[in-house]
Amino acid sequence: ALLVFIEHRFYGESKPFGNDSYKSADTLGYLTSTQALADFAVLITSLKQNLSAVDAPVVVFGGSYGGMLASWFRLKYPHVAMGALASSAPILQFDDITPWSSFYDAVSQDFKSESLNCFSVIKAVWDVLDYRGSNDSGLLELSKTFRACKTVRFPSSLSNWLWTAFTYTAMVDYPTPANFMMNLPAYPVKEMCKIIDSFPVGADVVEKAFTAASLYYNYTGDQKCFEMEGGDDPHGLSGWGWQACTEMVMPMTVSNESMFPPSGFSYEEKSEGCFASYEVRPRMNWITTEYGGHKIDKVLKRFGSNIIFSNGMRDPWSRGGVLKNISSSIIALVTEKGAHHLDFRSATKDDPDWVVEQRRQEVEIIHGWIDQYNKDIAQM
């Protein structure tokens, strides 16, 4: 069997407060999902021919956006791949299939489940930042508090810095130490909330939020100052802006129940912003037209097969994933304490039993697919 891992550089969510600058689309050379899948189909087919393994079964794997590609690849190229494992793949995060506020509601719930005080501190910090950052002297003091390498020009830069830390920490709330996004301890959300809860009563809310967020950016303690504006792109997410402006349009809002400032979604504003950055307009319904998504349980039950959708509910992207079995061979494996494609991370001696069991189930299911495939080939 050929096990093919489909990887793509883009995942995550673009920053909500603006002030980002992107290269124009014509200098990037990014592929749409349709182009990427077609290229993978050609590559896999050629590889099988070169290996003299034309009849070898192929199972594709992917996590996050790669997981979306893996599941779509199985549906669009069933003659190339006989199965797919799609981890943390939010294929239902489009149109009105999933509530638009679900992503940030999930991030908020992660923190709230650890400490109501932690949740409340983060919820309170945004207005304080806006108020203190409304003039130059306030920005200077905030820059000192945040240990900025240079005095910040916009309070939104500080908000983005905090927002990114809290959002990505929720995504990668792994049960063991990891360095996927940043070097982080086990259960980093819990550790952030411990930091906030350790402050004495009456301590400054900004200082609490900054110190907690520093766990994300500086757990190793080697950062002397932080680039708040004009820094590099450590996670390689710059291209996601272009993708989100073409086909990967995932409407997101922030509800009043969230720990983030409430916000809505406007297609018109999105479109104008995309045109200003890339001279393109987003196609709101492209993904669901190309790959489906609406009434997915009824649709895939009729014609789909051999797909595992794995999700961890600590990961906010799980809300846009397939969380229930669709058929006997389109299976949802859900872990309550799992995070962003945790099942794809290297095994460690400290992995909880539920992670070990999830991986065992995945291997068992895939073995079953391959065995059945080989039986079918033998009878041809």
DSSP string computed for 264-330? ---HHHHHHHHHHHHS----TTHHHHHH-BTBHHHHHHHH--SEEEEEETTSGGGGGS--S--SSSE
> Which whole number is the average pLDDT over 196-215?
97
Alpha helices in 151-266 (DSSP H): 155-171, 188-197, 205-218, 238-244
Determine which helix (DSSP H) or strand (DSSP E) holds 50, and give its type and residue range: helix 33-50
Tell me how far apart the alpha carbons of residues 164 and 186 are, in angstroms, rounded to a whole number: 19
How far apart CA 284 and CA 287 sit, in angstroms, is 8
Average predicted confidence (pLDDT) for the chain: 91
Residue among 150, 170, 152 at smallest CA distance from 160:
152
Tell me the average pLDDT across 316-332.
Answer: 98
Return the structure tokens found at 283. 């196609």
Please determine, for residue 205, whether its predicted confidence score (pLDDT) is greater than 90. yes
pLDDT at 320 over 80: yes
Tokens of 65: 């956006």
Q: What is the pLDDT of residue 53?
A: 93
The strand pairing partners of 58, in sequence order, are 2
Whether 11 has a pLDDT exceeding 80, the answer reads no
- Cα–Cα distance measured from residue 58 to residue 49, given in angstroms and rounded to the nearest whole number: 13
Give the least confident one: 130-144, 153-167, 235-249: 235-249
pLDDT band at 236 (very low <50, low <70, confident <90, very high): low
**Is pLDDT at 325 greater than 80 in this prediction?**
yes
pLDDT at 315: 98
Predicted confidence band of residue 282 (pLDDT cuts 50, 70, 90): very high
Please say whether the beta carbons of 53 and 2 come within 8 A: yes
pLDDT of residue 30: 64
49-69+82-92+293-331+340-379 and 100-284 share one CATH topology? no
Look at the domain 49-69+82-92+293-331+340-379 and name its fold: Rossmann fold (3.40.50)
344 Rama sector, left if φ>0, alpha if ψ -120 to 50, beta otherwise? alpha
Question: What is the predicted pLDDT for the residue at 25?
Answer: 36
Residue where the block lists tokens 């709101």:
284
Q: Kindly report, residue by residue over 54-112, the tens digit of the pLDDT.
A: 999 999 999 999 999 999 999 999 999 999 999 999 999 999 999 999 999 999 999 99
**Whether pLDDT at 238 is above 80:** no
Phi/psi at 118 (5° precision): -60, -50
Fold (CATH) for 100-284: Four Helix Bundle (Hemerythrin (Met), subunit A) (1.20.120)
Measured in degrees and rounded to the nearest 5, phi and psi for residue 138 equal: -65, -40
Query: Residue 363: which residues within 8 A CB-CB, separation 6 or more?
Result: none
Could you tell me the pLDDT band of residue 33, with boundaries at 50, 70 and 90?
confident
Dist. CA 91–CA 300, nearest whole Å = 13
**C-alpha dist (Å) from residue 365 to 224, 358, 360, 362, 372:** 48, 11, 9, 5, 11
Cα 141 to Cα 143: distance, rounded to the nearest angstrom: 5
Domain range annotation of the chain? 49-69+82-92+293-331+340-379, 100-284
Q: How far is CA 355 from CA 76, 241, 263, 311, 358, in A?
A: 30, 33, 35, 11, 5
Averaged pLDDT for residues 318-346: 97
* 1 three-class SS: coil
The answer to whether residue 345 scores a pLDDT higher than 50 is yes
- Residues designated as active site: 64, 315, 340
In the predicted structure, residue 231 carries a pLDDT above the cut 70: no
Q: What average pLDDT does the segment 40-51 reach?
A: 94
